């Protein structure tokens, strides 16, 4: 069974006949409007065939056309005519570029890592000297001392103390 669009196209082209034609025309809601559209479609078809038709070449035009094609073919060298146009990024160039990039990366990595001495102490390194809590003063208190040797600084960190014991006096 044909869809409506297929039946419509066959009806416009005049290819429906007999029972199919009578069934299709009975299914049209407005037969007069459909007939007008069919006439318009035929007018457009005639116009297109007349205006867009392929014009036949005369003998002189055909001969000139053949000569132009031969001249165009002879002006292009035979090797270039058959060869495909190459791009700049061929597979070998991509491989060489990738290899060179990896080599440059490795060289730079060696120089950057060589400049850093892993035995050096970081400027942020500290040492905990002592940490003790007196449960009598405050059961949840923590006292920590940090010393940075490079700057000769000692930091006393207290958390949860109600008062500072006397033995932590600055020296």
Higher-scoring residue by pLDDT: 142, 61: 61
Residue 90 falls within a domain, yes or no?
Answer: no
Question: Alpha-carbon distance 128 to 157, whole Å?
Answer: 11
Average per-residue pLDDT for the chain: 76
Q: Has residue 98 got a pLDDT over 90? A: yes
Number of domains in the chain: 2
Q: Has residue 153 got a pLDDT over 80? A: no
Evaluate whether 142 touches 168 at the Cβ level (below 8 Å): no
Q: Has residue 81 got a pLDDT over 60? A: no
Which residue is it, tokens 């869809």? 3
User: pLDDT per residue over 21-33, tens digit each?
Assistant: 888 888 888 888 8
Residue 77 falls within a domain, yes or no?
Answer: no
Evaluate whether 135 touches 111 at the Cβ level (below 8 Å): no
171 — pLDDT class (breaks 50, 70, 90)? very low
CA dihedral (112, 113, 115, 117) in degrees, to 10, reads 160
Residue 59 falls within a domain, yes or no?
Answer: no
Which of 8-12, 41-45, 105-109, 161-165 comes out lowest in average pLDDT?
A: 161-165
What does the pLDDT read at residue 2? 76
Residue 85 falls within a domain, yes or no?
Answer: no
Alpha carbons within 13 angstroms on the beta-carbon side of residue 169 total: 3
Q: Has residue 168 got a pLDDT over 80? A: no
Residue 35 falls within a domain, yes or no?
Answer: yes
What does the pLDDT read at residue 159? 73
User: pLDDT per residue over 103-132, tens digit each?
Assistant: 999 999 888 877 666 566 666 666 655 556
Of the three residues 17, 36, 51, the one that is the final residue of a domain is 51
Exposure string over 104-143, b if 16+ CB within 10 A, otherwise e: eeeeeeeeeeeeeeeeeeeeeeeeeeeeeeeeeebeebeb
Residue 82 falls within a domain, yes or no?
Answer: no
Residue 16 falls within a domain, yes or no?
Answer: yes
Of the three residues 21, 36, 51, the one that is the final residue of a domain is 51
Range of the structural domain that residue 138 is part of: 127-165
Of the three residues 51, 67, 83, the one that is the final residue of a domain is 51
Residue 68 falls within a domain, yes or no?
Answer: no
Question: Alpha-carbon distance 89 to 91, whole Å?
Answer: 7
142-148 and 127-128 strand pairing: antiparallel
């Amino acid at each position: 069974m044909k869809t409506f669009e297929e039946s419509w196209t066959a009806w416009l082209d005049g290819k429906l006949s007999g029972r199919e034609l009578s069934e299709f025309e009975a299914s049209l809601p407005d037969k007069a409007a459909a007939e007008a559209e069919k006439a318009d479609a035929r007018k457009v078809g005639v116009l297109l065939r007349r205006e867009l038709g392929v014009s036949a070449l005369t003998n002189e035009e055909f001969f000139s056309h053949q000569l132009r094609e031969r001249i165009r073919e002879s002006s292009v060298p035979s090797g270039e005519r058959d060869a495909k146009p190459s791009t700049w990024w061929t597979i070998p160039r991509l491989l060489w570029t990738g290899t060179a990039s990896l080599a440059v990366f490795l060289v730079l990595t060696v120089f950057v890592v060589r400049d850093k001495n892993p035995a050096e102490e970081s400027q942020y390194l500290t040492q905990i000297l002592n940490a003790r809590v007196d449960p009598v003063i405050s059961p949840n208190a923590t006292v920590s001392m940090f010393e940075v040797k490079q700057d000769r600084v000692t930091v006393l960190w207290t958390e949860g103390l109600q008062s500072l014991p006397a033995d932590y006096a600055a020296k």
